[in-house]
Amino acid sequence: MSDDKRKGGNPIPDDVKNYLNDDQLAVLHKIEGFGWSLKFVRRPLFLEPVVIVTNADGSSLGVLENDGRLNLEPDIETRE
């Protein structure tokens, strides 16, 4: 049995705008000009989505907080 919790969903949903609020979308568009991009959206049941972004070379992760702040010291665990 696999420990992988994903159920075949894409890391970035096709309807990503339904998961990001206006503040997050505005900041995402701004940081894309600096080489950052959306890496994935965690979609836990009954909780707010968590928006994860990465820099151009993939060496740094950040979380787009609900208020639009970019948190570069997130308390998250990722699989590599």
Q: What is the pLDDT of residues 44-58, one digit of tens each?
A: 889 999 999 999 999
Q: What is the mean pLDDT of the chain?
A: 87
User: Structure pTM?
Assistant: 0.81
As given in the structure block, the two tokens for residue 76 are 């998250």
- Is residue 22 scored above 70 in pLDDT? yes
Which carries the bigger pLDDT value, residue 76 or residue 74? 74
**CB neighbour class for 58 (10 Å; exposed up to 12, middle 13-18, buried from 19):** exposed
- Residue in this structure with the two tokens 């919790």, named with its chain if needed: 5
Q: Where are the beta strands (DSSP E) in the chain?
A: 37-42, 50-54, 61-64, 70-71
pLDDT at 1: 41
pLDDT at 64: 96
